[in-house]
Amino acid sequence: MTMIRQGLAVLALTAALAGCATTPQSTTPAASTTPTVSTSATTPATTAASPTLTTPAAPANVDTASEKAAWEALMSPDGEYAAYAAYQGVIDSYGRVEPYVTIHAAEQQHIGSLVRQLERTDVTVPANPYLGKIPAPASLKNAALAWAEGERANVAMYDRLLTQAIDDSRLTGVLENLRRASQDSHLPLFEAAAAKDGTLTADDMAKLHR
């Protein structure tokens, strides 16, 4: 299971059922770091075109197993850049609603942690290539359902990357922290939102957010 691909599959289905979703506008990044976008459907049930995103090519100096793990955690469609862009799309479409605002801010911190790890090994990190490319879902409840499943898949992604980055203790510490955030903080928030109307109140956040 992978986070953004699975989330996109759920969102693609809900978009097909509800009509076209609004896609936030953003400046197109440089071609060398722009993810490949296909208009093929992501699930057989999808009747409307939905983007399929692929990981931008890594620079030549991303050549160790640990560097490749850090690049994937940040740059892949299942990584932190894509998650940030997905939650930005929800905020752009529906306003500053919880738990998206809080998790969106956390994703920015996660991005910073991975960028520092890559820059530590002299890797030049591009700007987020996913902004404006992940459509908001048809409703906030659909969004919460999709990204609760996405957070479960994100935990599985980090389990895999932790075995790949075993030779770099500093990176594994970062990956463990990011996995913990998905498992213990983001997932419970999305599950709670999905059990309601897709949003959480300030009181809900105070009880649930860790």
pLDDT in tens, 166-187: 999 999 999 999 999 999 999 9
Which architecture does CATH list for 3-19+63-208?
Up-down Bundle (1.20)
Residue 143 token pair = 């969004």
pLDDT at 49: 36
| Domains of the chain by residue range | 3-19+63-208
Helices (H), the chain: 3-18, 65-75, 80-94, 100-120, 140-164, 169-181, 187-194, 202-208
Other CB atoms within 10 Å distance of the CB of residue 9 = 20
Q: For the residues of 139-182, what is the DSSP string, one character each?
A: SHHHHHHHHHHHHHHHHHHHHHHHHHTTT-HHHHHHHHHHHHHI
Give the dihedral sign, CA 190/47/23/5: positive
Question: What percent of the chain is modeled with pLDDT above 90?
Answer: 63
What's the predicted TM-score (pTM) here? 0.77
| For residue 24, cis peptide bond before it (omega within 30 degrees of 0) | no
pLDDT-flagged residues of the chain (< 70): 1-51, 210
Residue type, 156: A
pLDDT at 88: 95
DSSP secondary-structure letter at 33? Answer: G
Structure tokens that stand for 148 in this block: 């609760």
Tokens of residue 27, six digits:
């400046």
Q: Token match 């998905």: residue?
A: 182
* C-alpha pair distances (Å), 99 with each of 11, 38, 180: 18, 30, 17
The beta-carbon contacts of 67-70 under 8 Å, at least 24 apart in sequence, are 67/118, 67/121, 67/123, 68/164, 69/161, 69/164, 69/165, 69/171, 69/175, 70/114, 70/117, 70/118, 70/123, 70/165, 70/171
Start-to-end CA span in the chain (Å):
25
Sorted by sequence, the CB contacts under 8 Å of residue 73 that are 6+ apart come out as: 79, 80, 114, 157, 158, 161, 175, 178
